[in-house]
Structure 1
Amino acid sequence: MKRNKQAEIIKQLTKEELSFHLYITQLILVVIAIISSFFLFKNFSSFFTLFQLNLSIFTLGLTNGIAIVVLDIVCMKILPDHFYDDGGINEKIFKNRSILEIAFMAAVIAVCEELLFRGVIQTHFGFIIASIIFAIVHIRYWGHWFLIVNILLLSFWLGLVYEWSQHNLMTTIMMHFTIDFILGLIIKYKNRNME
Protein backbone atom coordinates (compact mmCIF):
# COMPACT_ATOMS: atom_id res chain seq x y z
CA MET A 1 0.00 0.00 0.00
CA LYS A 2 2.74 2.46 1.01
CA ARG A 3 4.76 1.53 -2.11
CA ASN A 4 1.75 2.28 -4.33
CA LYS A 5 1.27 5.66 -2.63
CA GLN A 6 4.97 6.51 -3.18
CA ALA A 7 4.75 5.41 -6.81
CA GLU A 8 1.67 7.58 -7.39
CA ILE A 9 3.37 10.63 -5.87
CA ILE A 10 6.49 10.06 -7.97
CA LYS A 11 4.46 9.60 -11.17
CA GLN A 12 3.03 13.08 -10.65
CA LEU A 13 6.47 14.69 -10.31
CA THR A 14 8.18 16.22 -13.32
CA LYS A 15 11.72 15.20 -14.25
CA GLU A 16 13.00 18.46 -12.72
CA GLU A 17 11.03 17.99 -9.48
CA LEU A 18 12.26 14.42 -9.17
CA SER A 19 15.86 15.57 -9.71
CA PHE A 20 15.41 18.30 -7.11
CA HIS A 21 14.16 15.83 -4.49
CA LEU A 22 16.91 13.35 -5.30
CA TYR A 23 19.66 15.97 -4.98
CA ILE A 24 18.16 17.45 -1.80
CA THR A 25 18.18 13.97 -0.26
CA GLN A 26 21.84 13.54 -1.20
CA LEU A 27 22.66 17.00 0.20
CA ILE A 28 21.04 16.01 3.51
CA LEU A 29 23.21 12.86 3.62
CA VAL A 30 26.37 14.91 2.99
CA VAL A 31 25.45 17.44 5.69
CA ILE A 32 24.89 14.58 8.15
CA ALA A 33 28.25 13.08 7.13
CA ILE A 34 30.08 16.40 7.59
CA ILE A 35 28.51 17.18 10.96
CA SER A 36 29.13 13.62 12.19
CA SER A 37 32.75 13.82 11.02
CA PHE A 38 33.40 16.77 13.33
CA PHE A 39 32.49 14.60 16.31
CA LEU A 40 33.84 11.22 15.20
CA PHE A 41 37.17 11.98 13.51
CA LYS A 42 40.11 13.41 15.46
CA ASN A 43 40.84 15.85 12.65
CA PHE A 44 40.28 16.40 8.95
CA SER A 45 43.51 14.69 7.96
CA SER A 46 42.31 11.42 9.53
CA PHE A 47 39.13 11.71 7.45
CA PHE A 48 41.08 12.34 4.25
CA THR A 49 43.14 9.17 4.75
CA LEU A 50 39.99 7.36 3.60
CA PHE A 51 40.65 8.65 0.06
CA GLN A 52 43.51 6.92 -1.75
CA LEU A 53 43.79 6.74 -5.50
CA ASN A 54 45.54 3.85 -7.19
CA LEU A 55 44.80 1.32 -9.92
CA SER A 56 44.14 -1.62 -7.59
CA ILE A 57 41.53 0.38 -5.68
CA PHE A 58 39.87 1.44 -8.93
CA THR A 59 39.92 -2.15 -10.20
CA LEU A 60 38.49 -3.58 -6.97
CA GLY A 61 35.56 -1.14 -7.06
CA LEU A 62 34.93 -1.53 -10.79
CA THR A 63 35.04 -5.35 -10.82
CA ASN A 64 32.78 -5.67 -7.78
CA GLY A 65 30.36 -3.15 -9.28
CA ILE A 66 30.24 -5.09 -12.54
CA ALA A 67 29.77 -8.36 -10.61
CA ILE A 68 26.72 -6.88 -8.84
CA VAL A 69 25.27 -5.66 -12.15
CA VAL A 70 25.78 -9.09 -13.78
CA LEU A 71 24.11 -10.82 -10.82
CA ASP A 72 21.24 -8.34 -10.97
CA ILE A 73 20.78 -8.90 -14.71
CA VAL A 74 20.77 -12.68 -14.23
CA CYS A 75 18.19 -12.36 -11.44
CA MET A 76 16.05 -10.07 -13.62
CA LYS A 77 16.07 -12.72 -16.37
CA ILE A 78 15.30 -15.63 -14.01
CA LEU A 79 12.88 -14.12 -11.50
CA PRO A 80 9.35 -12.91 -12.24
CA ASP A 81 9.05 -9.19 -13.09
CA HIS A 82 7.19 -8.37 -9.87
CA PHE A 83 10.33 -9.19 -7.84
CA TYR A 84 11.95 -6.02 -9.22
CA ASP A 85 8.80 -3.88 -9.26
CA ASP A 86 9.50 -0.74 -7.26
CA GLY A 87 6.32 0.91 -8.47
CA GLY A 88 8.07 2.43 -11.49
CA ILE A 89 10.28 4.71 -9.39
CA ASN A 90 13.63 3.73 -10.96
CA GLU A 91 12.04 3.89 -14.40
CA LYS A 92 10.79 7.42 -13.71
CA ILE A 93 14.22 8.45 -12.43
CA PHE A 94 16.26 7.14 -15.38
CA LYS A 95 14.11 6.73 -18.50
CA ASN A 96 14.27 10.25 -19.98
CA ARG A 97 17.82 11.12 -18.96
CA SER A 98 20.86 11.61 -21.14
CA ILE A 99 23.90 9.41 -20.54
CA LEU A 100 25.66 12.42 -19.01
CA GLU A 101 22.74 13.07 -16.63
CA ILE A 102 22.74 9.42 -15.54
CA ALA A 103 26.52 9.53 -15.00
CA PHE A 104 26.28 12.74 -12.97
CA MET A 105 23.37 11.42 -10.91
CA ALA A 106 25.17 8.12 -10.26
CA ALA A 107 28.34 9.99 -9.22
CA VAL A 108 26.48 12.30 -6.82
CA ILE A 109 24.61 9.38 -5.24
CA ALA A 110 27.77 7.26 -4.94
CA VAL A 111 29.84 10.02 -3.34
CA CYS A 112 27.15 11.24 -0.94
CA GLU A 113 25.96 7.83 0.23
CA GLU A 114 29.44 6.34 0.58
CA LEU A 115 30.72 9.37 2.52
CA LEU A 116 28.04 8.79 5.14
CA PHE A 117 27.52 5.04 5.22
CA ARG A 118 31.06 3.78 4.71
CA GLY A 119 33.19 6.84 5.47
CA VAL A 120 31.51 7.87 8.70
CA ILE A 121 29.18 5.13 9.96
CA GLN A 122 31.14 2.00 8.98
CA THR A 123 34.49 3.49 9.95
CA HIS A 124 33.23 4.18 13.48
CA PHE A 125 30.46 1.67 14.13
CA GLY A 126 31.26 -1.30 11.88
CA PHE A 127 29.93 -2.68 8.66
CA ILE A 128 26.88 -4.47 10.08
CA ILE A 129 25.42 -1.28 11.56
CA ALA A 130 26.32 0.73 8.43
CA SER A 131 24.72 -1.90 6.18
CA ILE A 132 21.51 -2.02 8.17
CA ILE A 133 21.21 1.79 8.28
CA PHE A 134 21.91 1.94 4.52
CA ALA A 135 18.99 -0.46 3.92
CA ILE A 136 16.72 1.45 6.32
CA VAL A 137 17.41 4.76 4.54
CA HIS A 138 16.34 3.21 1.22
CA ILE A 139 12.75 3.47 2.43
CA ARG A 140 11.21 3.13 -1.02
CA TYR A 141 12.13 -0.57 -1.03
CA TRP A 142 10.51 -1.38 2.31
CA GLY A 143 7.19 -2.41 0.79
CA HIS A 144 8.73 -5.27 -1.18
CA TRP A 145 10.54 -8.11 0.60
CA PHE A 146 12.81 -8.98 -2.33
CA LEU A 147 13.96 -5.41 -2.94
CA ILE A 148 14.79 -4.82 0.74
CA VAL A 149 16.72 -8.11 0.91
CA ASN A 150 18.48 -7.12 -2.33
CA ILE A 151 19.49 -3.68 -0.98
CA LEU A 152 20.60 -5.20 2.34
CA LEU A 153 22.82 -7.75 0.57
CA LEU A 154 24.21 -5.00 -1.67
CA SER A 155 24.99 -2.92 1.40
CA PHE A 156 26.81 -5.83 3.05
CA TRP A 157 28.80 -6.38 -0.16
CA LEU A 158 29.74 -2.68 -0.28
CA GLY A 159 30.74 -2.90 3.38
CA LEU A 160 32.93 -5.95 2.81
CA VAL A 161 34.65 -4.29 -0.14
CA TYR A 162 35.30 -1.26 2.07
CA GLU A 163 36.94 -3.58 4.62
CA TRP A 164 38.97 -5.41 1.93
CA SER A 165 40.25 -2.07 0.64
CA GLN A 166 41.44 -1.11 4.15
CA HIS A 167 38.81 1.61 4.47
CA ASN A 168 39.38 3.30 1.13
CA LEU A 169 36.27 5.25 0.15
CA MET A 170 37.38 5.53 -3.47
CA THR A 171 36.76 1.78 -3.84
CA THR A 172 33.14 1.83 -2.71
CA ILE A 173 32.45 5.11 -4.49
CA MET A 174 33.68 3.48 -7.72
CA MET A 175 31.64 0.34 -7.02
CA HIS A 176 28.46 2.26 -6.15
CA PHE A 177 28.87 4.51 -9.21
CA THR A 178 29.38 1.51 -11.51
CA ILE A 179 26.21 -0.18 -10.22
CA ASP A 180 23.98 2.89 -10.43
CA PHE A 181 25.36 4.08 -13.77
CA ILE A 182 25.08 0.75 -15.60
CA LEU A 183 21.67 -0.12 -14.14
CA GLY A 184 20.49 3.42 -14.97
CA LEU A 185 21.59 2.90 -18.59
CA ILE A 186 19.84 -0.48 -18.69
CA ILE A 187 16.60 1.12 -17.50
CA LYS A 188 16.99 3.98 -20.00
CA TYR A 189 17.56 1.72 -23.00
CA LYS A 190 15.04 -0.92 -21.93
CA ASN A 191 12.37 1.77 -21.91
CA ARG A 192 13.53 3.16 -25.24
CA ASN A 193 13.22 -0.31 -26.82
CA MET A 194 9.72 -0.75 -25.37
CA GLU A 195 8.43 2.52 -26.87
Structure 2
Amino acid sequence: MKQSELLQQISDQDLKRSLILSQLLFILLALGLSLFLFEHITDWTSYFRWNSRDILLYGVISGIVVVIIDLILIRVFPSRMYDDGGINKRLFSNSSFNEILFFTLLISVAEELLFRGVIQTTFGYLIASTIFALVHFRYLKRPVLLISILILSFYIGYIFEITGNLLVTITCHFFIDFLLGLFIRFNGWGEE
Protein backbone atom coordinates (compact mmCIF):
# COMPACT_ATOMS: atom_id res chain seq x y z
CA MET A 1 0.00 0.00 0.00
CA LYS A 2 1.31 3.45 -0.92
CA GLN A 3 2.06 6.05 1.71
CA SER A 4 -0.62 8.38 0.29
CA GLU A 5 -3.21 5.58 0.62
CA LEU A 6 -2.15 4.93 4.22
CA LEU A 7 -2.33 8.64 4.94
CA GLN A 8 -5.96 8.74 3.79
CA GLN A 9 -6.85 6.08 6.37
CA ILE A 10 -5.41 8.05 9.28
CA SER A 11 -7.37 10.79 11.01
CA ASP A 12 -5.81 14.22 11.56
CA GLN A 13 -5.69 13.52 15.30
CA ASP A 14 -3.94 10.17 14.78
CA LEU A 15 -1.40 11.83 12.45
CA LYS A 16 -0.67 14.51 15.04
CA ARG A 17 -0.49 11.93 17.82
CA SER A 18 1.94 9.81 15.76
CA LEU A 19 4.16 12.84 15.20
CA ILE A 20 4.23 13.64 18.91
CA LEU A 21 4.93 10.02 19.89
CA SER A 22 7.75 9.66 17.34
CA GLN A 23 9.43 12.82 18.58
CA LEU A 24 9.05 11.79 22.23
CA LEU A 25 10.68 8.50 21.25
CA PHE A 26 13.61 10.45 19.76
CA ILE A 27 13.95 12.42 23.02
CA LEU A 28 13.86 9.25 25.13
CA LEU A 29 16.36 7.60 22.80
CA ALA A 30 18.67 10.62 23.06
CA LEU A 31 18.44 10.66 26.85
CA GLY A 32 18.88 6.88 27.11
CA LEU A 33 21.86 6.80 24.76
CA SER A 34 23.47 9.74 26.55
CA LEU A 35 23.43 7.73 29.79
CA PHE A 36 25.44 4.97 28.10
CA LEU A 37 27.65 7.00 25.77
CA PHE A 38 28.67 9.89 28.02
CA GLU A 39 30.60 9.52 31.23
CA HIS A 40 28.60 12.28 32.89
CA ILE A 41 25.25 13.77 31.92
CA THR A 42 26.92 17.18 32.19
CA ASP A 43 29.09 16.19 29.21
CA TRP A 44 25.94 16.28 27.12
CA THR A 45 24.37 19.35 28.67
CA SER A 46 27.53 21.36 28.00
CA TYR A 47 26.32 21.63 24.39
CA PHE A 48 23.61 24.05 25.53
CA ARG A 49 25.07 27.54 25.75
CA TRP A 50 23.35 30.84 25.27
CA ASN A 51 25.34 32.70 22.65
CA SER A 52 23.18 35.44 21.13
CA ARG A 53 25.49 36.07 18.18
CA ASP A 54 25.67 32.43 17.09
CA ILE A 55 21.96 31.83 17.70
CA LEU A 56 21.06 34.87 15.59
CA LEU A 57 23.63 34.34 12.83
CA TYR A 58 23.72 30.54 12.49
CA GLY A 59 20.29 29.80 13.90
CA VAL A 60 17.80 32.48 12.89
CA ILE A 61 19.38 34.08 9.83
CA SER A 62 20.71 30.79 8.51
CA GLY A 63 17.29 29.16 8.95
CA ILE A 64 15.57 32.00 7.12
CA VAL A 65 18.06 31.78 4.23
CA VAL A 66 17.40 28.03 3.93
CA VAL A 67 13.65 28.70 3.81
CA ILE A 68 14.08 31.36 1.11
CA ILE A 69 16.14 28.93 -0.98
CA ASP A 70 13.54 26.21 -0.42
CA LEU A 71 10.70 28.52 -1.47
CA ILE A 72 12.61 29.43 -4.65
CA LEU A 73 13.09 25.73 -5.40
CA ILE A 74 9.40 25.10 -4.79
CA ARG A 75 8.64 27.67 -7.48
CA VAL A 76 11.23 26.26 -9.90
CA PHE A 77 10.43 22.54 -9.68
CA PRO A 78 7.04 20.96 -10.41
CA SER A 79 4.98 20.31 -7.26
CA ARG A 80 5.19 16.53 -7.80
CA MET A 81 8.94 16.75 -7.16
CA TYR A 82 8.29 18.24 -3.71
CA ASP A 83 5.49 15.82 -2.82
CA ASP A 84 6.42 13.86 0.31
CA GLY A 85 3.31 11.71 0.04
CA GLY A 86 1.14 14.43 1.50
CA ILE A 87 2.29 14.19 5.12
CA ASN A 88 3.55 17.75 5.52
CA LYS A 89 0.58 19.18 3.66
CA ARG A 90 -1.89 17.17 5.71
CA LEU A 91 -0.20 17.91 9.01
CA PHE A 92 0.37 21.63 8.61
CA SER A 93 -2.65 22.64 6.55
CA ASN A 94 -4.90 21.17 9.24
CA SER A 95 -3.05 22.69 12.20
CA SER A 96 -3.50 25.97 14.03
CA PHE A 97 -0.67 28.48 14.40
CA ASN A 98 -0.09 27.26 17.97
CA GLU A 99 -0.02 23.61 16.87
CA ILE A 100 2.53 24.41 14.16
CA LEU A 101 4.62 26.24 16.75
CA PHE A 102 4.40 23.28 19.15
CA PHE A 103 5.06 20.59 16.52
CA THR A 104 8.04 22.33 14.95
CA LEU A 105 9.59 23.15 18.33
CA LEU A 106 9.15 19.53 19.43
CA ILE A 107 10.62 18.23 16.16
CA SER A 108 13.63 20.54 16.25
CA VAL A 109 14.43 19.78 19.90
CA ALA A 110 13.95 16.01 19.55
CA GLU A 111 15.87 15.59 16.31
CA GLU A 112 18.75 17.86 17.31
CA LEU A 113 19.11 16.21 20.72
CA LEU A 114 19.42 12.82 19.08
CA PHE A 115 21.27 13.53 15.85
CA ARG A 116 23.65 16.32 16.88
CA GLY A 117 23.71 16.00 20.67
CA VAL A 118 24.23 12.25 20.81
CA ILE A 119 25.02 10.72 17.41
CA GLN A 120 27.23 13.50 16.03
CA THR A 121 29.13 14.02 19.27
CA THR A 122 29.74 10.27 19.57
CA PHE A 123 30.04 8.95 16.02
CA GLY A 124 30.88 12.06 14.03
CA TYR A 125 29.51 14.52 11.55
CA LEU A 126 29.21 12.24 8.50
CA ILE A 127 27.40 9.42 10.28
CA ALA A 128 24.96 11.73 12.08
CA SER A 129 24.15 13.71 8.94
CA THR A 130 23.64 10.57 6.88
CA ILE A 131 21.40 8.91 9.48
CA PHE A 132 19.40 12.14 9.85
CA ALA A 133 18.74 12.16 6.10
CA LEU A 134 17.85 8.45 6.05
CA VAL A 135 15.37 8.84 8.91
CA HIS A 136 13.40 11.07 6.55
CA PHE A 137 12.80 7.95 4.46
CA ARG A 138 9.68 9.30 2.79
CA TYR A 139 12.03 11.55 0.79
CA LEU A 140 14.14 8.69 -0.56
CA LYS A 141 12.06 8.23 -3.74
CA ARG A 142 11.98 11.96 -4.52
CA PRO A 143 15.37 13.14 -5.85
CA VAL A 144 14.76 16.85 -5.18
CA LEU A 145 13.58 16.18 -1.61
CA LEU A 146 16.39 13.70 -1.01
CA ILE A 147 19.06 16.12 -2.21
CA SER A 148 17.45 18.91 -0.16
CA ILE A 149 17.37 16.86 3.05
CA LEU A 150 20.94 15.62 2.50
CA ILE A 151 22.25 19.14 2.01
CA LEU A 152 20.20 20.41 4.95
CA SER A 153 21.38 17.57 7.17
CA PHE A 154 25.04 18.18 6.37
CA TYR A 155 24.54 21.93 6.71
CA ILE A 156 22.99 21.71 10.18
CA GLY A 157 25.67 19.18 11.15
CA TYR A 158 28.31 21.64 9.97
CA ILE A 159 26.71 24.41 12.02
CA PHE A 160 27.06 22.16 15.05
CA GLU A 161 30.68 21.44 14.11
CA ILE A 162 31.59 25.13 14.09
CA THR A 163 29.48 26.27 17.06
CA GLY A 164 29.34 23.17 19.27
CA ASN A 165 26.01 24.50 20.45
CA LEU A 166 22.70 22.63 20.31
CA LEU A 167 20.74 25.83 20.95
CA VAL A 168 22.03 27.09 17.60
CA THR A 169 21.08 23.96 15.63
CA ILE A 170 17.71 23.70 17.38
CA THR A 171 17.02 27.34 16.46
CA CYS A 172 18.01 26.81 12.82
CA HIS A 173 15.98 23.59 12.54
CA PHE A 174 13.00 25.25 14.24
CA PHE A 175 12.99 28.29 11.96
CA ILE A 176 13.15 26.10 8.86
CA ASP A 177 10.31 23.81 9.92
CA PHE A 178 8.20 26.57 11.48
CA LEU A 179 8.36 28.94 8.53
CA LEU A 180 7.74 26.17 6.00
CA GLY A 181 4.87 24.89 8.18
CA LEU A 182 3.32 28.36 8.17
CA PHE A 183 3.85 28.59 4.42
CA ILE A 184 2.01 25.31 3.91
CA ARG A 185 -0.77 26.35 6.30
CA PHE A 186 -1.43 29.83 5.00
CA ASN A 187 -0.43 29.62 1.33
CA GLY A 188 -1.85 26.24 0.44
CA TRP A 189 1.46 24.84 -0.79
CA GLY A 190 0.84 21.56 -2.52
CA GLU A 191 -2.68 22.50 -3.57
CA GLU A 192 -3.48 21.33 -7.05
TM-score (norm 1): 0.93
Asked if 2 retains the 8 angstrom alpha-carbon contact of 1:57 and 1:170, the reply is: no
2:119 corresponds to: 121
Q: Does 1:87 align with 2:85?
A: yes
Count of residues paired in the alignment: 190
1:174 corresponds to: 171
Gap regions ≥5 residues in structure 1: none
Of residues 145-154 and 181-190 in structure 1, the stretch that sits farther from structure 2 once superposed is 145-154
Instruction: Return the letter of the residue paired with 1:126.
Output: G
Q: Does 1:151 align with 2:149?
A: yes
2:52 to 41, 55, 69: 55
1:106 to 104, 124, 132: 104
* CA distance in structure 2 between the partners assigned to 1:52 and 1:7 by the alignment: 41
Match of 2:188, SS? Answer: helix
1:67 to 65, 68, 74: 65
* CA distance in structure 2 between the partners assigned to 1:163 and 1:43 by the alignment: 21
2:31 corresponds to: 34
Runs of 4 or more consecutive aligned structure 1 residues displaced over 2 Å after TM superposition: none
2:18 corresponds to: 21
Aligned-pair identity (%): 43
1:46 to 43, 46, 49: 43
Gap regions ≥5 residues in structure 2: none
* CA distance in structure 1 between the partners assigned to 2:42 and 2:13 by the alignment: 37
Per-residue deviation, 1:11: 2.2
RMSD (CA atoms): 1.5
Of residues 170-179 and 13-22 in structure 1, the stretch that sits farther from structure 2 once superposed is 13-22
Match of 1:122, SS? Answer: helix
Per-residue deviation, 1:57: 2.5
Asked if 2 retains the 8 angstrom alpha-carbon contact of 1:142 and 1:148, the reply is: yes
1:191 corresponds to: 188
Instruction: Return the letter of the residue paired with 1:42.
Output: E
Asked if 1 retains the 8 angstrom alpha-carbon contact of 2:85 and 2:138, the reply is: no
Instruction: Return the letter of the residue paired with 2:35.
Output: F
Match of 1:68, SS? Answer: helix
* CA distance in structure 2 between the partners assigned to 1:140 and 1:28 by the alignment: 19
* CA distance in structure 2 between the partners assigned to 1:117 and 1:84 by the alignment: 24
TM-score (norm 2): 0.94
1:7 to 1, 4, 7: 4
